[in-house]
Amino acid sequence: MKPALLAAALAVLAPAVRAQGLPQSHVLNFNCLEALAAVGESDLAGIFSYVPDKDTAAAFADLLVHRPKVLRKFLAKGEDDVKQVGGVSQWDHDAASYALSIFSLPPAALAAPKPSSSQLKRLRALVAAPVLTLEEMTARRSIKR
């Protein structure tokens, strides 16, 4: 491309790029960070920081659906929370609900490994567990110590 043509293209496109802006990362939701660490995927925190906060549970559910090992670890984390403090966080509840919704799609539409009936039962139990705030969970953990 000729330098003059390149300069003209940059002059035309630069304001549009500035107006639209580049993707911005933001502070990652603590619940998402905790879940990523619990399932051994903390290296994905940088990627999740680009996902809008309201969508992190759905994005995490997609990770659960496509990686059976991650699903197993998330189920164990959720069951441990229920055992220790009597419930799960709203974020964990939402992630489990989204995953259950994805798993309910017809097999032809689901491009992921099908979970066992035992895993689906455990996932339903997490969705049915009481939802606690982070403050309630922290307080109940500190009482048990």
Q: How sure is the predictor about 1, in pLDDT bands with cuts at 50, 70 and 90?
A: very low
Provide the 3-class DSSP secondary structure of residue 123.
Answer: helix
Predicted pLDDT of residue 98: 96
In a domain, 127, yes or no: yes
Q: Which domain holds residue 107?
A: 56-144
In a domain, 10, yes or no: no
Alpha carbon distance 71, 65 (integer Å): 7
In a domain, 138, yes or no: yes
Alpha carbon distance 97, 69 (integer Å): 18
In a domain, 114, yes or no: yes
Give the pLDDT confidence of 47-86 residue by residue, as tens digits: 999 999 999 999 999 999 999 999 999 999 999 999 999 9
The answer to whether the beta carbons of residues 113 and 64 sit under 8 Å apart is no
The answer to whether the beta carbons of residues 56 and 48 sit under 8 Å apart is yes
* pTM score of the predicted model: 0.80
Burial 63-73 (b: 16+ CB within 10 A, else e): bbbebeebbbb
Give the number of domains in the chain.
1
In a domain, 69, yes or no: yes
Query: Is pLDDT at 7 greater than 90 in this prediction?
Result: no
- Output DSSP code: residue 41: -
Alpha carbon distance 98, 64 (integer Å): 10
In a domain, 27, yes or no: no
In a domain, 47, yes or no: no
In a domain, 129, yes or no: yes
Give the pLDDT confidence of 104-143 residue by residue, as tens digits: 888 766 778 889 999 999 999 999 999 999 889 989 888 8
pLDDT, mean over the chain: 85
- Comparing 126 with 8, the larger pLDDT belongs to 126
